[in-house]
Amino acid sequence: MTKFALRCGVKPPQVTEIMASDIRGRGVLEYLSAATQQRAAYYRDKAAQFREIAEAEPIGRLRERLLHLARQYDDVAEIVEARRQR
């Protein structure tokens, strides 16, 4: 049986969690942009994990639910990225 490394309980990176020293060498806008990119990458990673689990799921209804969750995470990543581009 395949083991999956679903990181349960791992929260998306928060702006406050990025080292304060990171902001010293660059401007605030670059700092916020990097934080936004990290959040979007986190959500895309979660979507990929749900897709991987869904591929191995033999129960169709559960597989579809996992794929639905993956799409929702992709949607959140797109929203985060769209807000960054405003």
Give the number of domains in the chain: 1
Confidence at residue 32, expressed as pLDDT on a 0 to 100 scale:
79
Q: Is 4 part of any domain?
A: no
Q: Is 9 part of any domain?
A: no
Q: Is 14 part of any domain?
A: no
Q: Is 26 part of any domain?
A: no
Q: Is 73 part of any domain?
A: yes
Q: Is 1 part of any domain?
A: no
Confidence at residue 35, expressed as pLDDT on a 0 to 100 scale:
86
Tell me the mean pLDDT per 10 residues along the chain, length 86: 48 55 65 86 96 96 97 96 77
CA distance 55 to 44: 17
Q: Is 50 part of any domain?
A: yes
Question: Residue 69 sits in which domain range?
Answer: 44-86
* CA 20-21-24 angle, 5° bins: 105
Confidence at residue 13, expressed as pLDDT on a 0 to 100 scale:
56
Q: Is 20 part of any domain?
A: no
Answering whether pTM is above 0.75, one says no
